[in-house]
Amino acid sequence: MMPTMNGLPMKKFTNNQTIKHTIPLLSALLLATLAAIADTPLSASAPPPLVLKTAAFQHYIEDFNQGDNELYKNFYPNVAAWDFLKNNIPLLDCPDEEIQKTYYFRWWTYRKHLKQTPDGFIVGEFLPNVGWAGKYNSISCAAGHHLYEGRWLADPKYLDDYSRFWFHGGDPRRYSFWVADSIWARLQVTGDDRIAKELLPDLIKNYQAWETEKRDVNGLYWQTDDRDGGEFSIGGTGYRATINSYQYGDARAISRIAELAGKIEIAREYNAKAAAIKSLVQQKLWDDKAQFFKVLPKGENKNLSDVRELYGLVPWYFNLPDADKSVAWKQLMDPQGFYAPYGPTSAEQRHPKFAISYKNHECQWNGPSWPYATAITLTGMANLLNNYTQDVVGKKNYYDLLKIYTKSHHLKREDGTVVPWIDENLNPTNGDWISRTRLKTWKNGTWDAGKGGEERGKDYNHSTYCDLVISGLIGLRPRADETVEVNPLLPVGTWDYFCLDRVPYHGCLLTICYDKTGERYHRGKGLRVFADGKEIAASARLAKLTGVLPRKAE
């Protein structure tokens, strides 16, 4: 068993591992010791939580640990989970117990995937090794999700290492991956542009490689559905809204990073690339009759596929479409489209090839609900509600879909107990985790080790959830400047209170509170935003707010 101090693992270091990992760990151990004595946070400089008391949420982590069969351990095993989480994640208090519990559960699972390697820390997707992964069991497919979710961690070293890893040891093009966009998204939270500037040459080389490997003479990018993270789909291989949107997002991000670095010509070049992709996606992949983005098969004189797939909403993740395309979102809430009790479905339910199958391959994107795609959809929906003028969907739709997604985070064990859970693909009608049901009987009633074994899909790190709560529901909209923007997507009258506390943002700690009566948090009525304890914005009601960080306001 690995030795620990105050719950933090003490690892042996080999000569080929750099001292840069030893020093932070020793510092963490020292601070943990001091914290145990003084009952203070594990940060040497950060003030304590401004409103919420950390210990009030410890029971969630203890319960998760108690009910867990921990077969695989990475840098922070369960015994160290609370020590890590209490000093790294924003704290959430809200009246919806399921959302609150799932929020802490998803941070608890994310922590499981922090892995130290000779190339620094990386974030995993599967806990056991799988045959389709790359170095250190890394997979680029969900790495964009890893960066969006992990950007809210207080300690930057994990994602600093992880960002570098993809260009110095990893394989960023094994699957489609919006790497530049996700690094830019993280910069908007941290306010620190050093990693983005450092990696700018690598981001450009990666983009150029995508152009060489996947862009055709028509200007569009193509991808197989499998390498797009959507195998056995109805739409299949071709010019997909996914890879083209990712390239659009990456071009926009490279342009912005280049501008920060003073490389104006590169900024202009990549802004022009993004504009070209935007035009092509809307000209070539938009089906005007179906009012939806679809797959265009490769080859001459091909027609768009005849199916609407949830991936057709990906362009909004990057704010690509013009406002008139917002009509596509009608399909999200349509029971013949994507809406389902445990949805959204990966393909429209009215299509004759829509299927929920327990035969053949265990991962199919022709009907089941996938958290990977649900997370992309909710992020895109938050962008739609914040950045577009439209009347197709509203805040209630966002909240309803988040509630459905939250409800899916459960598993009923054989003894009848229901536990928090995140896995691969869902039966959209009853919430059964399809891959898990399939794999546990794959070889005569035993787990198939060749497919990853018992824990293949358990605690699957293939989506976001906490980021959806922070940037969507609570509404902290990250920006590169020193303005703090908060626009809750919580429908008015739904909750009487909420608090998101100790949010690391541009070198400050933010607190976002809504208190209908002012009696829960004693910080005044209505919506209020604090930076390092100083109020920077307030409203008597739940509405969009902006404020300026203290160091810029003075």
Geometric angle at alpha carbon 438, from 436 and 441, rounded to 5° = 105
Indicate the Cα dihedral angle 419, 114, 427, 235, nearest 10°: 170
pLDDT of residue 185: 98
Bridge partners, residue 483, by sequence:
548
pLDDT value at position 269? 98
pLDDT at 27 over 90: no
| pLDDT in the model for residue 48 | 55
Distance of CA 544 to the CA centre of its chain: 23
Is 241 within 8 Å of 311 (Cβ atoms)?
yes
Q: How far is CA 32 from CA 2, 25, 84, 85, 111, in A?
A: 17, 10, 10, 12, 17
**In the chain, what is the straight-line distance between the N-terminal and C-terminal CA atoms, in Å?**
52
How much of the chain exceeds pLDDT 90, in percent?
86
User: Distance between CA 4 and CA 324 in Å, rounded?
Assistant: 57
Q: Which of 31, 126, 33, 131 is nearest to 74 (CA)?
A: 126
The answer to whether residue 28 scores a pLDDT higher than 50 is no
Average pLDDT of 154-177?
Answer: 98
pLDDT tens, position by position, 191-247: 999 999 999 999 999 999 999 999 999 999 999 999 999 999 999 999 999 999 999
| b/e map 298-332, b = 16+ CB within 10 Å | eeeeeebbebbbbbbbbbbbbbbbeeebbebbebb
Residues 546, 249: Cα–Cα separation, whole Å? 25
Distance CA 159, CA 225 (A): 28
Spatial CB neighbours of 496, under 8 Å, sequence gap ≥ 6: 95, 515, 516, 517, 520
